[in-house]
């Protein structure tokens, strides 16, 4: 998708498909909510585009490991944009968000991985796809 095409888009329907076992059942809705809120700020055009996020990798921190050695949280997915009217593929993007931390401060930073990563992942889409 060219920058000119991306500038014409506004969020349509947003779906989240989690392909990773053993994640919290709330992850899809948390991610979808953060996508709706964040993408509305960078997709300011007039053409509705449906957005599907297929989560391929999700990892939360191990509390003990974070304090002792450091750890990270990860959210990786394939983001697909399709024309809301025709269903035509507009673009696909591999998006990855990783946050690391160590010690007690790291434990606090990584504590709400689901919400924090969802917000950061959504922001990464704005930066990488919509350059905002």
Q: Does residue 83 register a pLDDT over 90? A: yes
Mean pLDDT for the stretch of residues 65-89: 81
Mean pLDDT of the chain: 84
Tell how strand 71-83 and strand 89-101 pair up. Answer: antiparallel
Mean pLDDT for the stretch of residues 68-75: 66
Q: Does the global pTM surpass 0.75? A: yes
Q: Which pLDDT tens digit goes with each residue over 29-41?
A: 999 999 999 999 9
Q: Going from the N-terminus, what domains does the chain have, and what CATH number goes with each? A: 3-58+73-96+113-129 (3.30.160)
């Amino acid at each position: 998708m060219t920058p000119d095409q991306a500038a014409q888009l506004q969020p349509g329907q947003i779906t989240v498909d989690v392909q990773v076992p053993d994640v919290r059942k709330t992850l899809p809705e948390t991610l979808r909510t953060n996508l709706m809120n964040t993408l509305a700020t960078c997709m300011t055009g007039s053409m509705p585009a449906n957005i599907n996020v297929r989560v391929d990798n999700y990892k939360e921190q191990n509390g003990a490991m974070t304090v002792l050695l450091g750890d990270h949280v990860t959210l990786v997915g394939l983001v697909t944009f399709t024309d809301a009217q025709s269903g035509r593929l507009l673009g696909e993007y591999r998006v990855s968000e990783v946050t690391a931390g160590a010690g007690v401060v790291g434990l606090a930073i990584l504590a709400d991985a689901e919400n924090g990563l969802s917000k950061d992942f959504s922001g990464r889409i704005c930066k990488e796809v919509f350059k905002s």
